[in-house]
Structure 1
Amino acid sequence: MFPRHLLSTLHRLSGCFPVVVITGPRQSGKTTLARVAFGDRPYVSLEDPIERAFAIEDPRGFLARFPDGAVFDEAQRWPELFSHLQGVVDRSRRPGMFVLTGSQQFGLLAGITQSLAGRAGLTHLLPLSLAEIPSAKEAVTSLDALLVRGGYPALHAYTIDPADWFASYVATYVERDVRQVLNVQDLSTFQRFLRLCAGRTGQLLNLSALAGEAGISQTTARAWLSVLESSYLVFLLPPYHRNFGKRLVKTPKLYFTDVGLAAWLLGIRSADVLALHPSRGALFETLVVGEFLKARFNAGLPADLYFWRDNNGLEADLVFEQGQRLQTIEIKSGQTATTDYIRAGQRSAHFAGDAAAPPWLVYGGDQAYVRSGLRVMGWRELTNDVDLLST
């Protein structure tokens, strides 16, 4: 197992809450992490039809088998579990009794908010961060190879072609998750929609244009995008909410949670192809924004990440609050921090005035230094997720 930085957060929450929840995309390592972190508890997969049938037919008898708690994998498969657990934990109030994992955020969150509010500590496990990938920290992989491979643990644990793995992953996802939630009659239309979303990673979301190109209604596009979000395949980065007296862009930006999946959906099968691909910059931005998101989730923090863009062209690719100050980050995929890159990084903080912290530039090279008040970071510097939280 790869060392997952969410582990310490899980141990902290298990000392405070009777129920700990681990959610995230399929194949992100939730089951493995839960079994390692809570190896002293019985493990039950609710994907198992025998266990699920037992739970549905005799819920009290099912839960009576676990007087000291258990790990319930894919908990959203038994929606009544949450209300039954409410009575159990209210009688005991013992912290860390039950651990729930699940791949569909909407199923888990509905049960938690209805029955386990105040009783459950919620965490999000995304694919491996750069800090969790040994080859990234040891400088034995290239940036383009990493962008093609992404962060799903299986692609770093085994010798497998990313193209083969992602083809199977998407087919399984479409078959198991989408059909469980949406009445998708034409899977090829949904797959086209998914690929069109990949082509828009790192861009402002224009739902009308996306729907038109996919050949579906805007209502359908909104519903499908919601499922992609709830399954942790994509996330929306909102614009920063303070006005600063400017006319702002108010549309969110769309990002894929895993850059390798986005690259595969774009038809990119090798690092050589990616090196010349027009989407390389957007994919690099997807990687960098994702690293900040993973660092915050691994620490048990809300995302609280934003971007800034006004109608005069002033922008910052990433913005977040640090105390009373705003940290801005410019992201450039080139291997050399050119003068234009430096100027763009410096301009990224101008909108915040006195509230701005010294800006950052994250680029596709390897050097790290400070120049003219700008912190310049090569992409490998992102392997220190503690640094990403203590800017």
Structure 2
Amino acid sequence: MLARYLTSTVQRLAASFPIVTITGPRQSGKTTLARTVFADKPYVTLEDPLEREFAQEDPRGFLARFANGAIFDEAQRWPALFSHLQSRVDEDRRAGRFILTGSQQFGLLVGVSQSLAGRAGITRLLPLMAGEIPAVAEKRLGINQLMLTGGYPALHTQAILPQDWFASYVATYVERDVRQVMNVQDLTTFQRFLRLCAGRTGQLLNFTGLASEAGISQTTARAWMSVLESSGLVHLLPPYHRNFGKRLVKTPKLYFLDTGLACWLLGIRSEEVLALHPLRGELFETWVVSEFLKSRYNLGHSPDLYFWRDNNGVEADIVFEVDTRLQVVEIKSGQTVTSDYIKAGKRAAAFAGEVALMPWLVHGGDDNYQRSGVDVIGWRALGEKLLSSK
């Protein structure tokens, strides 16, 4: 098993809460993590129709087998589980007793918030950060190959081509999650919608244009986007709310949480194609934003990441608060740090004035240093920087 940064957060929550929930996209490693950290607990998957039938027909008998706790995988498949667990943990508050996992964040978290508020510690496991991939640590994997492969654990532990794995993944995702969450009749249209979303990663989300190109209504486009969000495939990065006296763009930016999936949906199958692809800059930005999100979830923090753009074109790719100040991040995909990159980093932080910290410039090369008031960070060093920051 690959070592996961989330392990320490899961262990910390299991020492405080009677229930720990692990959400995240399918195949991100939730089951493996849960079964490794809690190897002494019995494991039950509620995807199993026999187990689910037993649970629905005789919930008392089903749960009586697990007086000392258990791992319930895909817990959202039995919604009544949450209310049954409520009474049990109220009678016995032992920490770390039940572990719930689920790939549909919406279904799982609705059940937790309605029945298990204050009783469950909530975590989210996304695909691998670069630092969790041995080939990156050993410098056998460059940034283009990493973006092309993505971070799903199977692609770094099994001898399988990314194009083969993603083809199966998307087919499985569409057939299982989409049909479970909402009644999508035309799967071909949904797949086209998914590919159109990939072509917009790293860009402002325009529902009007997206719906029109997909041949669906805006209402449907918004509903389908919510499915992609709850399934852990995309993230909508909101604009920062303080205006600093400027007129702001109020539209969120769309990011895929795995660049390998985005590349596959875009038809990118080789490093050579990726290197020359017109969306390479957006894909690198997507990778950086996903590293930020993964690091925050792994540390047990809320995402709380934003971007900034005003109507005069002043923008910052990532903004987040550090106490009463703002950390601004500029992202450049090039490997060589030029004076223009440094100017862009300084310009990105200028809107925040005195509350801005030294801006970060994350780039596609290996250099790490401070230059002219800008903290230059190479892509390999980003994860360590994020996990060591407050």
TM-score by length of 2: 0.99
Query: Any stretches of 5+ residues in structure 2 without a counterpart?
Result: none
Asked whether the 8 Å contact 2:148–2:263 carries over to 1, the reply is: yes
Asked whether the 8 Å contact 1:131–1:385 carries over to 2, the reply is: no
- Alignment partner, residue 153 of structure 2: 153
Q: Secondary structure at the match of 2:321?
A: strand
- Alignment partner, residue 82 of structure 2: 82
Following superposition, the deviation at residue 180 of structure 1 comes to 1.2
Q: Secondary structure at the match of 1:342?
A: helix
Following superposition, the deviation at residue 389 of structure 1 comes to 2.9
Are residues 362 and 205 of structure 1, via their aligned partners in 2, closer, same or farther at CA, if it must alter by over 3 Å?
same
Asked whether the 8 Å contact 2:325–2:355 carries over to 1, the reply is: yes
- Alignment partner, residue 164 of structure 2: 164
Are residues 379 and 386 of structure 1, via their aligned partners in 2, closer, same or farther at CA, if it must alter by over 3 Å?
closer
Counterpart-to-counterpart distance in 2, 1:222 and 1:265: 20
Paired residues for 1:175-214 under 5 Å: 175-214=175-214
Q: Structure 1, residues 91-120: CA drift from partner, whole Å, max 9, x if none?
A: 001111100000001110111111001100
Paired residues for 1:117-132 under 5 Å: 117-132=117-132
- Alignment partner, residue 229 of structure 1: 229
Matched, 1:136 2:136: yes
Query: Any stretches of 5+ residues in structure 1 without a counterpart?
Result: none
Asked whether the 8 Å contact 2:20–2:99 carries over to 1, the reply is: yes
Q: Structure 1, residues 70-91: CA drift from partner, whole Å, max 9, x if none?
A: 0000001111000000000000
Matched, 1:345 2:338: no
Following superposition, the deviation at residue 335 of structure 1 comes to 1.1
- Root-mean-square deviation (CA, aligned residues, Å) is 0.9
- Alignment partner, residue 359 of structure 1: 359
Q: Structure 1, residues 194-249: CA drift from partner, whole Å, max 9, x if none?
A: 00000000000001110000000000000000000000000100001111110001
Asked whether the 8 Å contact 1:201–1:282 carries over to 2, the reply is: yes
Matched, 1:264 2:264: yes
Counterpart-to-counterpart distance in 2, 1:388 and 1:103: 28
Q: Structure 1, residues 7-31: CA drift from partner, whole Å, max 9, x if none?
A: 0001100111110000000000000
Following superposition, the deviation at residue 388 of structure 1 comes to 5.7
Asked whether the 8 Å contact 2:295–2:387 carries over to 1, the reply is: no
Are residues 387 and 22 of structure 1, via their aligned partners in 2, closer, same or farther at CA, if it must alter by over 3 Å?
closer
- Alignment partner, residue 312 of structure 2: 312
Asked whether the 8 Å contact 1:14–1:96 carries over to 2, the reply is: yes
Paired residues for 1:99-118 under 5 Å: 99-118=99-118
Q: Secondary structure at the match of 2:352?
A: helix
Matched, 1:61 2:74: no
Q: Structure 1, residues 301-357: CA drift from partner, whole Å, max 9, x if none?
A: 000000000011111000001111100000010111111111101111001100000
Asked whether the 8 Å contact 2:295–2:383 carries over to 1, the reply is: no
Following superposition, the deviation at residue 277 of structure 1 comes to 0.3
Instruction: Tell me the amino acid that sits aligned with residue 323 of structure 2.
Output: G
Following superposition, the deviation at residue 383 of structure 1 comes to 3.2
- Alignment partner, residue 220 of structure 2: 220
TM-score by length of 1: 0.99
Instruction: Tell me the amino acid that sits aligned with residue 376 of structure 1.
Output: V
Counterpart-to-counterpart distance in 2, 1:250 and 1:186: 32
Counterpart-to-counterpart distance in 2, 1:293 and 1:247: 27
Matched, 1:329 2:323: no
Following superposition, the deviation at residue 142 of structure 1 comes to 1.4
Asked whether the 8 Å contact 1:308–1:318 carries over to 2, the reply is: yes
Counterpart-to-counterpart distance in 2, 1:267 and 1:81: 41
Q: Secondary structure at the match of 1:384?
A: helix
Counterpart-to-counterpart distance in 2, 1:110 and 1:372: 48
Counterpart-to-counterpart distance in 2, 1:334 and 1:388: 25
Instruction: Tell me the amino acid that sits aligned with residue 164 of structure 2.
Output: D
Asked whether the 8 Å contact 1:137–1:383 carries over to 2, the reply is: no
Are residues 387 and 26 of structure 1, via their aligned partners in 2, closer, same or farther at CA, if it must alter by over 3 Å?
closer
Asked whether the 8 Å contact 2:234–2:254 carries over to 1, the reply is: yes
Instruction: Tell me the amino acid that sits aligned with residue 61 of structure 2.
Output: G
Asked whether the 8 Å contact 2:46–2:74 carries over to 1, the reply is: yes
Instruction: Tell me the amino acid that sits aligned with residue 135 of structure 2.
Output: S
Counterpart-to-counterpart distance in 2, 1:125 and 1:78: 21
Following superposition, the deviation at residue 139 of structure 1 comes to 1.2
Instruction: Tell me the amino acid that sits aligned with residue 355 of structure 2.
Output: A
Asked whether the 8 Å contact 1:240–1:319 carries over to 2, the reply is: yes
Paired residues for 1:255-294 under 5 Å: 255-294=255-294
